[in-house]
Amino acid sequence: MAASDGGPPIPPPVAAPELSAATRAPGGWLTFVGCLAAGFGLFFLASSVLGLLFDRLTIWASLAVYVANFACFTGAAYVLGVRRPGLTWAEFGLRPFNPAWLWLALAAVVAVLPLRAAAALLAETVLGGGLSGLQPRLALVAPEGRLGQNFVVTLLGAGLLVPFAEEVYFRGLLQRWLRSRYSFWPRVLLSAGLFAAGHFDSAGVVASSFFLGLICAAALERSRSLWLPVAIHAVNNSVAVILLYLALFVQDRIQ
């Protein structure tokens, strides 16, 4: 399309890339069960082994959990979602997206953060028996030890490795399967529900994760790129880690 003032041509808006035929046909129910077993099952097994190897939760035990998360979920996505159907990572979903979607999605994350916190507190109060239900998660992301070292390791693990691994698994592998069978809202809700179920260590974390899962699932549907939910998840986790360690730093200085 040419510019009306005789200037250089104005390119048309870039539409979200369509899904390939291979992406629209990811397999039957047996394949879906296998995807669940490969991700959830392997990570549960790895977590159980790590629980036997580490007699107490240190930052290095936390790092081992982050690495196990990355290996199990990314590995399952690669073997069952990329290699088995013969896709490239770009065809699987790691493709560029319109930058405008990033700003809209990040604004949504900022707006929802207070709601996520409120949902977590409400769920713990009603179902979890109080804030003590959040202690296992807090012990993982903020174990005893030097704050500076713990902050760097947690920001790398929980802020970067885990968001990438969980998004390529829950959105790239599981939601891709759901897309071939369900309309927009059922698959978004199911994707968010599976993501919440993967954070079953406390009622508050499950409730909070469901909100994040909704945003990430909808972001993938609108952008057709896994990089957008990865960015949303990474920013969300990183902000939470920064705020937590800032609070711990202030508390340490006051005492």
Per-residue pLDDT of the chain (255 residues; tens, 9 = 90+): 444 445 555 544 444 444 444 444 577 899 999 999 999 999 999 999 999 999 888 999 999 999 999 999 999 999 999 999 999 999 999 999 888 887 877 777 777 777 777 878 788 777 766 666 667 788 899 898 899 999 999 999 999 999 999 999 999 999 999 998 999 999 999 999 999 999 887 888 888 899 899 999 999 999 999 999 999 999 889 988 999 999 999 988 887
Tell me what pLDDT residue 14 has: 44
pLDDT attached to residue 16 = 46
Q: Is the dihedral of CA 212, 214, 218, 224 positive or negative?
A: positive
- Residue 16: closest CA among 163, 171, 236, 226: 226
Distance CA 18, CA 6 (A): 33
pLDDT the model gives residue 18:
45
Q: What is the pTM of this model?
A: 0.86
Output the pLDDT for position 15.
45
| CA nearest to 73, candidates 175, 167, 141, 200 | 167
CB 65 within 8 A of CB 80: no
Beta strands in 119-218 (DSSP E): none
The pLDDT value recorded for residue 23 is 44
